[in-house]
Amino acid sequence: MKKILIVGLPFFAEKYTYMMDSYSSIGVHPRVLINSDYVGYGSDFDMHFAGKGTFSRMYNYAKTIRTYNPDFIDCYDYSILSLYYVFVAKVLGVKVRFWLIGGELKGDKTHFNRKSFFLSLFVNVKKVLTRQSLRLSDKIFAKEVHHLDSIKSIGEDLLAKVVSIYNCVPVEDNYHSRSKISKDFIYANAVIESRNVKSLVEAFSSLKKNNFVFSASIFGFNSISNVVYGVRGESYSNDVLELYEELDIGDVVSVDGFIKDIGVELVKHKFFLFPAEVILANYALLEAMSHGLVPIIFPGDGYEKIITDGVNGIVAFDFDIYSALERALKLSEDDYAKMSEAAYRKIKTEFSLSHWSSKLLDTL
């Protein structure tokens, strides 16, 4: 059995159990060095605390390589230590697979909780270190479409090492229509600027003023609670919550922080809202569609690979979320049912864990 050591993860949310199960299904034993001492979902897996500080994590990583003797290092690029992880692995003769996880090659700052010169400097330094990590790694896993353009801009020779591997989720064998739907719309992601949640709140207010009958939920406010992920975009989250209270829409729109089992809430709703700059392939979006929720999205990065307007979702091509919500509310039951099943089929055929496992197997 091959062995993989996974490093760089700051937390272990439920979505990572999909990855662990996939590795096990293809005969690979994964061990995780996690930066948080709260294992939560990962208690059933081979998981170890990486250490509280930088030097502790550096030492424990090098020690684990020598004692565990992995065939591969899977490095997730959350940390400024990524280059260290890659360099040590190469020195010790272990193959490295480098996972890009977001906008690190673009210097993305939308997830920060405050603005400062030092944080901007950190982002720029991190971007330089990530570029060097790409050059040293044996494989580069690109989870989003824009990663390919960023990698190409660094050096076309790097594209030969790239594996495009989108997120996947568990999917039931058969489609089931849901009989206990009690609400119309749900947003379930981090409330950060790049996902345009302010526009969403304003659109809900307009629907209410125009006497539309609807109900909605917004999950992901760091301002309220966060028991799953690290806090992201707290300032923006606070601003959106203040706007929500100012517009007085609490009677039709409920709000909450992150919760452990969002699937329980997803199935109560008809439509999944994701007016984001990057669409492919958000975990919550995939999970919602796998349950038959019809997505309503902006034409963000990679959207055309997963959602076809009017077939398995609604695309707000003009970035007018209000019009998209109004269109959704006016759908007939038959049209909604067809789109709901089409959403499920898309995930079943192209974004199920069997596809993910097969893709991982090809990289070993």
Sequential DSSP letters for 265-308 = HHTTEEEEEE--SB-TT-HHHHHHHHTTPEEEE---BTGGGT--
Is the pLDDT score of 87 beyond 90? yes
Q: Which residue has the higher pLDDT, 65 or 80?
A: 65
Tokens of 206: 């307009």
pLDDT at 132: 94
- Nearest to 216, CA basis, from 167, 260, 251: 251
Compute the distance between CA of residue 202 and CA of residue 178 in angstroms, rounded to an integer. 29
Is the pLDDT score of 170 beyond 80? yes
Under a CB-based contact definition with an 8 Å cutoff, are residues 276 and 252 in contact? no
pLDDT at 125: 84
Is the pLDDT score of 266 beyond 70? yes
Express as a percent the part of the chain with pLDDT over 90: 64
Q: Which residue has the tokens 């790097």?
A: 158
pLDDT in tens, 206-232: 999 999 999 999 999 877 766 555 566
Q: How far apart are the first and last CA of the chain?
A: 12
CA angle 294, 295, 300 (to 5 degrees): 160
CB count in 10 Å sphere of residue 254: 15
Compute the distance between CA of residue 293 and CA of residue 337 in angstroms, rounded to an integer. 10
| Average pLDDT of span 197-210 | 98
Q: Which residue has the tokens 């539309």?
A: 212
pLDDT at 145: 84
Q: What is the mean pLDDT of the chain?
A: 90
Is the pLDDT score of 30 beyond 60? yes
pLDDT at 364: 86
Q: Amino acid letter at 28?
A: V
Tokens of 168: 């996947």
Under a CB-based contact definition with an 8 Å cutoff, are residues 200 and 218 in contact? yes
Tokens of 128: 């330089």
pLDDT at 21: 87
CA angle 46, 80, 95 (to 5 degrees): 55
pLDDT at 227: 59
* DSSP notation for 15-64: HHHHHHHHHHHTTEEEEEEESSS--GGGGGS-EEE--SSHHHHHHHHHHH
- Nearest to 363, CA basis, from 88, 144, 72: 72
Compute the distance between CA of residue 364 and CA of residue 357 in angstroms, rounded to an integer. 11
Alpha helices in 158-282 (DSSP H): 197-209, 234-247, 262-266
Going by their DSSP bridges, the two strands 47-49 and 72-76 should be labelled as: unpaired
Contacts of 217 (CB under 8 A, 6+ apart): 183, 185, 186, 187, 188, 253, 254, 255, 256, 265, 269
> Residue-wise over 120-131: b if at least 16 C-beta within 10 A, else e?
eeebeebbebbb
pLDDT at 92: 95
**C-alpha distances in Å from residue 320, one per residue of 12, 43, 49, 113, 202:** 35, 43, 45, 27, 11
| Average pLDDT of span 72-100 | 94
- Residue 111 DSSP SS3: coil
Is the pLDDT score of 99 beyond 60? yes
Q: pTM of whole model > 0.75?
A: yes
Compute the distance between CA of residue 296 and CA of residue 320 in angstroms, rounded to an integer. 11
Tokens of 266: 């997803």
Alpha helices in 98-189 (DSSP H): 117-136, 145-154
Query: Band of the pLDDT at 116, cuts 50, 70, 90?
Result: low
Is the pLDDT score of 95 beyond 90? yes
Under a CB-based contact definition with an 8 Å cutoff, are residues 181 and 169 in contact? no
| Average pLDDT of span 290-319 | 96
pLDDT at 114: 57
DSSP structural state of residue 293: P
Is the pLDDT score of 89 beyond 90? yes
Query: Band of the pLDDT at 235, cuts 50, 70, 90?
Result: confident
pLDDT at 355: 81
